[in-house]
């Protein structure tokens, strides 16, 4: 499996597939997106967006239950820690309340001190007026993707280190990610890029946005390289001056990284009618789209890992 993956990435790096594809290329191509396990992905999603989590609002028992599931998954995959614990507590609000990020590391085989951050927030809006805001797409979907990608990279060790962060308090104003970049357990300068996922499980047009390209144009070719291998339409936009009111630059946890000049790719779908409503539920997920999006993001991340040169950054 590992050898085939390297072959596939090499093909991507060397450009478009030839018109008359060989059997070998086709096998490598299908293998490129055969990276994560769909059953694991869906099981994480179903559990994180279940009624037991009661919408996962920061500093609630439902939020804690979600965090325990994340920690349990980190533990069972034997993911590394940056200190004694996976947990990074942080204070918020006027009443000294506490939120908690969950942080784990897979050490790189060649460049241990250079990191790719893979991030998603696990909190949501909780219960309001008796209604559970399940937050399946926002953002149980990104959290489940993070956990499933982690299993893949544990089996296929990256060249650079990966730091996985499940953020708390995003819905209250990016609290967890702001705290993380100001209190980073590794040198912040060692983070090469942030791959952030927030709302990745449904879209009627089979489209997902890869944003951040306006700010960091050298990242575009890595996303472009994966497009021919996925049935999902990867769209650009929602960043930069033309985006106007639809600029997503400060809309999720990639923003604090951007403020520290760390390049980011943020993957997310266009808003849908169930956005921030109690009806953002598991039954609305397009499982096939969701799985394909997550295999695509995993492939882009693997490519970013292959393509980074610590002395030169990402190739232009
Ligand atoms: Zn969100």
Contact 28, 8 (CB under 8 A): yes
pLDDT digits (tens, 9 = 90+) for 95-148: 999 999 999 999 999 999 999 999 999 999 999 999 999 999 999 999 999 999
d(CA 204, CA 196): 22
pLDDT digits (tens, 9 = 90+) for 23-36: 555 555 556 788 99
* 188 Cα–ligand 1 center, Å: 23
Q: Residue for token digits 């930069």?
A: 240
* 185 Cα–ligand 1 center, Å: 24
d(CA 70, CA 147): 7
Distances (CA, A) of 308 to 215, 227, 262, 269, 314: 18, 19, 14, 27, 5
Helix axes 287-307, 141-155, angle to 10 degrees: 50
* 139 Cα–ligand 1 center, Å: 5
* 82 Cα–ligand 1 center, Å: 25
Distances (CA, A) of 171 to 90, 150, 220, 291: 15, 24, 28, 25
Residue 11: the pLDDT is 42
User: Residue 294 pLDDT more than 50?
Assistant: yes
* 15 Cα–ligand 1 center, Å: 34
* 49 Cα–ligand 1 center, Å: 13
- Give the bridge partners for 103, in sequence order: 165
pTM: 0.91
Residue 125: the pLDDT is 98
Q: Over range 220-238, report the average pLDDT.
A: 96
pLDDT digits (tens, 9 = 90+) for 78-92: 999 999 999 999 999
């Amino acid at each position: 499996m590992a050898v085939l993956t390297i072959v596939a990435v090499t093909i991507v790096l060397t450009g478009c597939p030839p018109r008359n594809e060989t059997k070998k290329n086709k096998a490598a191509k299908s293998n490129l997106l055969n990276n994560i396990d769909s059953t694991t992905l869906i099981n994480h999603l179903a559990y994180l967006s279940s009624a037991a989590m009661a919408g996962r609002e920061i500093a609630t028992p439902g939020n804690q239950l979600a965090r325990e599931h994340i920690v349990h998954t980190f533990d069972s995959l034997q993911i590394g820690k940056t200190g004694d614990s996976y947990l990074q507590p942080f204070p918020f609000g006027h009443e000294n309340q506490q939120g908690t990020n969950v942080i784990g590391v897979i050490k790189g085989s060649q460049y241990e001190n250079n990191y790719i951050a893979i991030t998603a927030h696990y909190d949501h809006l909780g219960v309001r007026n008796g209604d559970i805001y399940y937050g399946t797409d926002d953002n149980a979907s990104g959290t489940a993707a993070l956990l499933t990608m982690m299993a893949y990279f544990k089996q296929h060790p990256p060249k650079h280190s990966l730091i996985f962060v499940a953020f708390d308090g995003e819905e209250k104003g990016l609290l967890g990610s702001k705290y993380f970049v100001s209190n980073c357990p590794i040198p912040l300068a060692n983070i090469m890029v942030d791959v952030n996922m927030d709302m990745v499980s449904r879209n009627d047009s089979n489209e997902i946005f890869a944003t951040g390209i306006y700010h960091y144009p050298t990242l575009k070719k890595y996303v472009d390289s994966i497009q021919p291998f996925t049935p999902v339409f990867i769209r650009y936009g929602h960043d930069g001056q033309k985006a106007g009111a639809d600029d997503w630059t400060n809309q999720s946890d990639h923003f604090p990284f951007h403020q520290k000049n760390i390049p980011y790719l943020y993957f997310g779908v266009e808003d849908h009618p169930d956005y921030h409503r109690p009806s953002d539920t598991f039954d609305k997920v397009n499982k096939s789209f969701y799985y394909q999006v997550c295999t695509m993001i995993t492939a882009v991340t693997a490519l970013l890992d292959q393509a980074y040169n610590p002395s030169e950054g990402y190739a232009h």
